[in-house]
Amino acid sequence: MSNSFPIIFLILAAVVLVFGFGVVVQSRRKKPTPVVTPAPKNVVAPAPVAEVVAEPVVELVAEKKRSFKNVLAGAVSSVLGRGEINDTSWDDLEEALLRADVGVKVAQALLEPLRARVKAKEISTPAELITALQNDMASRLVGTNRELNFDASIDGPNIWLMVGVNGAGKTTSLGKISAQQVALGRKVMMAAGDTFRAAAGEQLQTWAERSGAEIIRGAEGSDPSSVILDAVQAANARKCDLVLADTAGRLQNNTNLMEELRKVRRVAEKGAGTVTETLLVIDATTGQNGLSQARLFADATQVTGVVLTKLDGSSKGGIVFAIETELGIPVKLVGLGETIRDLVAFNPTEFVEALCSTT
C-alpha cells in the first residue's frame, strides 16, 4: 500500500497536468468576441426581418469599470468590520445609499426586506448581509432590455434623437454613439439640431469628422426641426442607415423647449425616416436634481432610453436606481469620460459590484 502511494501520486499529477494544458489551450482559443463582426463572405444575406433589431455596443471593459466610484465601499467595509449585524450596520448602509443618491424610496425598498430576513435568521453574518444587498441591487436592474433600437426593415433611415438639459453631454454622447455605429458598419448622418448657439454646430462637425459621419448644419437661429428634416432627406438620398440628431438643451424657457422637441419629433418623421430611439441624456453628477429635470423631458418626448454621463468620478451613481424606478426608463449607455471611447453599454451586475467594491 505504502509502495503504491508514489505511483498514484504520479498518475494524479499527470492527469492534473494534461487537464491544465487542455484548459489553457481551450481558453486561448476562446478569444473575446470582437465588437465588429464582419459578415461572412459568399453567404446570401437573409431578408431584413420586420422587427426592431438591437445592436450591441462596446462592452464595459475592466479598465473603465474602475472609473465608477465605489461609493458604497466605506459602508460595506464598516459593516464587514463588525462581528455582528447591529443598528449601526443599518445606519451605515442607509446613509451610504442615500448619499449615493439611490433615493429614499429605493433605499427603503432595499433595506426593509433585508431587515426582515435578518430577523427571520435567514441572514446572520455581515458578509451574508452585504452579499444579499448586492444581489438585491443587481436584481432591481437586470432583465431590462437595454439595447438600442435599430429597425433595419423601415423605409429610409432610423432617427435617434438626443434630448436633455444644457451641459448634460448630448453632443459628446452623440459623437461617441456615432463612432460605435460607424464601427458596426452603418452609414451615419448627423443633424445639427442645436441652432441655439453657433458653437454647437462647430462642436458637432468635429465629432462628425472624428467618427466618420456626414453632417447637415443650419444657420444659427434657424428652425431646428427643418435642419433635422433636411438631414433626414439627405440621409435618405445618400442611403444612410442612421440619423443622429442633436438638439439644444435650452431655449428662452423650458416650456418652449418641450414644445420645440415635440415639433422636432413630428417634423423629423415627415421625411422618409422613423424615430426609433429618443435618448435622454442625464448628467450623473446632478443627482436628484437631474431627475426632476429628466421627468419634464420624459413627459414631453417619448423617451426610450437614458444615457447617463459623467459617471466617471461621480459620487452619485445610485441615481441609476432612481431613474429606472421613478422614470421607468432603461439606462442604456453610460459616459465614463470625454474621449470617443468613453461610452459603454450599461452592465448592471458590474456596476453594482463596482459601487460596493472595497479594493
Ligand X SMILES: Nc1nc2c(ncn2[C@@H]2O[C@H](COP(=O)(O)OP(=O)(O)OP(=O)(O)O)[C@@H](O)[C@H]2O)c(=O)[nH]1
What is the contact surface with ligand X in residues (CB under 6 A)?
Answer: 164, 166-172, 194, 200, 248-249, 281, 309-310, 312, 335-338, 342
As a whole number of Å, the end-to-end CA separation of the chain is: 48
Interface stretch with Mg ion, choices 37-45, 86-94, 118-126, 167-175 (CB under 5 A): 167-175
Q: What angle do CA 322, 324, 328 make, to 5 degrees?
A: 125
Q: 70, 89, 171, 278: which one contacts Mg ion (CB under 5 A)?
A: 171
Does 178 interact with Mg ion (rule: CB under 5 A)? no
Does 247 interact with Mg ion (rule: CB under 5 A)? no
Closest contact distance (angstroms) between CB of 46 and ligand X is 37
Contacts of 343 (CB under 8 A, 6+ apart): 57, 58, 173, 176, 177, 180, 307, 333, 334, 335, 336
Binding site partner of 335, from Mg ion, ligand X, none, Cβ cut-off 5-8 A by kind: ligand X
Count of residues engaged in binding Mg ion, rule: CB under 5 A:
2
Closest contact distance (angstroms) between CB of 195 and ligand X is 11
Closest contact distance (angstroms) between CB of 187 and ligand X is 23
Query: What are the C-alpha distances in Å from 96 to residues 100, 109, 349?
Result: 6, 15, 19
Binding site partner of 168, from ligand X, Mg ion, none, Cβ cut-off 5-8 A by kind: ligand X
At residue 59, what are phi and psi to the nearest 5 degrees? -70, 155
Binding site partner of 337, from ligand X, Mg ion, none, Cβ cut-off 5-8 A by kind: ligand X
Binding site partner of 284, from Mg ion, ligand X, none, Cβ cut-off 5-8 A by kind: none
Query: What are the C-alpha distances in Å from 181 to residues 123, 224, 261, 289?
Result: 46, 23, 24, 31
Closest contact distance (angstroms) between CB of 200 and Mg ion is 5
- Residue of this chain nearest to ligand X (CB atom): 335
Distance CA 153, CA 131 (A): 44
> Nearer to ligand X by C-beta: 202 or 338?
338
From 359, 279, 356, 289, select the one nearest 322 (Cα to Cα): 289
From 192, 214, 210, select the one nearest 201 (Cα to Cα): 192
Q: What angle do CA 277, 279, 280 make, to 5 degrees?
A: 150
> Nearer to Mg ion by C-beta: 74 or 337?
337
Does 172 interact with Mg ion (rule: CB under 5 A)? no
